[in-house]
Chains A and B, each alone.
Chain A
Amino acid sequence: MQFLGYLISGISLGSVYALIALGYTMVYGIAKMLNFAHGDVIMIGGYMVYFTFCSRGWNPLLAVLFAMAVCTLLGITIERVAYRPLRSAPSLAVLITAIGVSFLLQNSAMLLWKSDPKSFTSIISLPPLSLAGGKLSIPAETIVTIAVSIVIMVVLLWFVNKTRIGHAMKAVSEDRGAAQLMGINVNGIISLTFAIGSALAAVAGALLLSSYPTLIPTTGAMPGIKAFVAAVFGGIGSIPGAFLGGVLLGVIENLSKAYISTQLSDAIVFLVLIIVLLVKPTGLLGKKTAVKV
């Protein structure tokens, strides 16, 4: 019973990682860049929900939609101003710029909203799900987060595989030059990818903070890094891989805290990651890419 309790809290954390990792992997898959600022877009989304829902009492759904709109706009702007001029520059240059954007978002948030912590009210007002005669309870936030992650995963898979724009995205991801020759608007597709990724970040922010309610300007940084790890764990670029990697990462983290050592749980998580990658170098669900000579 204790084990199940720990497992559930692991899944709660994992579902949040999974949701963030989906946005990460989406942008990585199409734009081929590690968007280090993703975690900070989540933080901005969190503040948007905080100011509308927690402070002004908006309808939670409306608040999340508002945050999604703000983050979409932010994502497109960031892409347009900071990343697009570097489209044909080395990808490491974009990586560094993304780090600059991440600093910029954190420091802007600090100047705008100060650094004191804000406690987030959960946007989910449902009671927890009781199991085994009340001995176990699964927080409603966890159930909603998992459900939302699965829905997003399925919709993304459908979108990428079945729609025309999705096909265009895949084409851009496979070979940008060829896609351009085929008349695909590469810049438009990448902007769209950032728009979707940032909208997902807003949802992730709202749900992350519903489960773990401390909101500060650096709130997004660590979950962002962990989600990056989760995305690599599951096979970066793979949408189901991001989900699986996220959930597993959360479960491993919490079980090692519960049964091995709370002090060493970071080390254990990363050790498991290394071992998994040694056995399966492209992550759990990653595609093996053949090297062309």
Chain B
Amino acid sequence: MKKVITVALTGALAASFVMSAAAAETIKIGGIGPITGAAAIYGSNVMNGMEIAVEDVNASNPDLQFELQFEDDEHDPEKSVNAYNTLKDWGMQLLGGTVTTSPCLAVGAEALNDNMLLLTPSASSQDVIDLGDNVFQVCFTDPNQGTASADYISSQKLGEKIGVIYNSADAYSSGIYATFMAEAEAVGLEVVAEEAFTDDNSTDLTTQVQSCQNAGADLIFLPIYYTPASQVLIAADKMGYDVNFFGCDGLDGLLTVEGFDTALAEGVMLLTPFVADAADEKTKDFVAKYAEKTGGDVPNQFAADGYDVVQVLYAACEKAGVTSDMDASEICEAVKAVLTGGDFSYDGLTGEGMTWDASGAVSKAPRGMIIENGEYVSLDAE
């Protein structure tokens, strides 16, 4: 009896997956990212950013409307492919995702098969854009960040002896680490300590900081996200270790960690495309809308990336004259032609004059920032 019920139930479940067709009035944009699970912070930020952008673009031009659906992937490739297929069934015509690298590799392969245009806000691995010519990034590619960081440290003479603390189980962090090390060797930076951690032992990062101290590092390079970075800063402070820190875009968000003593972040340098307290109108407007939407939260660079994804897609669609009756493959070809056409550039929250080439990597200038008195100040200005 129980078996019969279960089989019937399975059948019913399966039947509910059978396709239902829907009519499209506007262009359907899909978004994929983790909004539950350990990486939920990144996905939720992107989702909010994309939603705000859709409201903005829809208000700007009544002739071309975007409709957004955002699906959860729990930072898991399998769930991400399911999310992608869910969006496909919904009638997605353009994909603004996925947020994290390893799911993006799986979804990218599917998107390549379907010739669906994929513009990822934040999956920064080189492998992502290597998947095919329909995959584009809004964020910097990891190798660029690693190289740029090493060059920056070397040219600005920010440190003599460099320590590195990175997440060896994370594609983003180990990707930047790899290219940083290669470039450091090329430009003659002395790296005295290379310390790793994994998600399984990230509770305590004291030992890694101690090892940097014992090796005499005067600058610690942190190609990691801001959550573990806040732990590193606190650990160094507790040990009374006076050292400079240099990070990449993952460090943005440090000042917004609730309860974090921002005095500890004093003097931290980072290469980031977006700062939430920048004075320009665009950023101010976005930060205000974000706070209104989320009940007072401050957006991090993921939110800004998500916002830019929608804006870039919209601008490209406008320019290409995309209409809602085109299918995903036709839109993909049209948008691709615009993005790589050479005369398309976009001024967004995460960079001025962003352009793309056929590789799918974005070209924009990284901004060196330093935290002074709890605020970002441009390093280049000094």
A residues with a Cβ closer than 8 A to B are: 2, 5-6, 9-10, 12-13, 16, 50, 54-55, 107, 110, 114-121, 128, 137, 139, 208, 211-218, 222-223, 226, 250, 253-254, 257-258, 262-263, 265-266, 269
Contact = CB atoms under 8 A, between A and B. Distances in A.
Given A262-B196, A262-B197, A9 B206 contact: yes
Contacts of B197: 262
**Closest CB pairs A-B (n = 3):** A119-B260, A115-B40, A119-B259
Nearest to B195: A262
B319 to A, nearest CB: 36
A280 to B, nearest CB: 24
B259 A262 contact: no
A208 B204 CA distance: 10
Nearest to A253: B201
Interface in B183-208: 195-204, 206-208
Contact of A115 (B44, B230, B234, B257): B44
Given A107-B36, A116-B257, A117-B230, A266 B204 contact: no
A6 B195 CA distance: 14
B318 interface: no
Interface residues of B, number: 39
A120 B259 contact: yes
A266 B201 contact: yes
16 contacts: A2-B210, A5-B210, A9-B207, A54-B259, A115-B41, A139-B238, A211-B204, A213-B230, A213-B234, A216-B38, A226-B203, A253-B204, A254-B207, A257-B207, A262-B197, A262-B211
A119 B180 CA distance: 29
B41 A262 contact: no
B155 to A, nearest CB: 29
A225 to B, nearest CB: 8
B201 to A, nearest CB: 6
B113 to A, nearest CB: 32
Contacts of B203: 13, 16, 208, 212, 222-223, 226
A118 B260 CA distance: 7
B69 interface: no
Contacts of A208: 203
B168 interface: yes
B171 to A, nearest CB: 15
Given A119-B260, A218-B38, A9 B200 contact: no
A119 B257 contact: yes
B258 A118 contact: yes
B238 A117 contact: no
B329 interface: no
A253 B197 CA distance: 11
User: Quick one: which of B36, B201, B257, B261 has the most chain A CB within 10 A?
Assistant: B201
User: Quick one: which of A110, A217, A269 has the most chain B CB within 10 A?
Assistant: A110
A20 B200 CA distance: 17
B218 interface: no
Contact of B204 (A12, A110, A116, A121): A12
Contacts of A217: 40
A257 B195 CA distance: 9
Contacts of B228: 214
A120 to B, nearest CB: 6
Nearest to B197: A262
Contacts of A16: 203
B214 interface: yes
Contacts of A12: 204, 206
Contacts of B297: 114, 116
B238 A258 contact: no
A39 B46 CA distance: 29
Contact of A212 (B196, B204, B259): B204
Given A50-B259, A258-B207, A119 B230 contact: yes
Given A114-B44, A212-B204, A269-B201, 8 more contacts: A9-B210, A110-B40, A115-B44, A214-B228, A214-B230, A258-B211, A262-B208, A266-B201
Contact of A262 (B36, B168, B226, B258): B168
Contact of B231 (A116, A212, A257): A212
Contacts of B238: 128, 139
A121 B208 contact: no
B10 interface: no
Given A116-B297, A139-B238, A265 B227 contact: no
Given A118-B257, A128-B238, A216-B38, A13 B44 contact: no
Contact of B214 (A2, A50, A54, A128): A2
A276 to B, nearest CB: 19
Contacts of A218: 37-38
A235 to B, nearest CB: 23
A139 B41 CA distance: 31
Interface in B282-305: 297
A107 B36 CA distance: 8
Contacts of A216: 38, 41, 227
Contacts of A139: 238
A114 B44 CA distance: 9
A6 B207 CA distance: 6
Contacts of B261: 119, 121
A49 to B, nearest CB: 11
B29 to A, nearest CB: 23
B231 A214 contact: yes
Given A213-B231, A214-B231, A9 B204 contact: yes
A9 B214 CA distance: 14
B287 to A, nearest CB: 15
A59 to B, nearest CB: 18
Contacts of B239: 137
Contact of B227 (A107, A211, A214): A214
Contacts of A2: 210, 214
A118 B41 contact: no
B258 A119 contact: yes
Nearest to A116: B41
Contacts of B214: 2, 5
Contacts of A55: 259
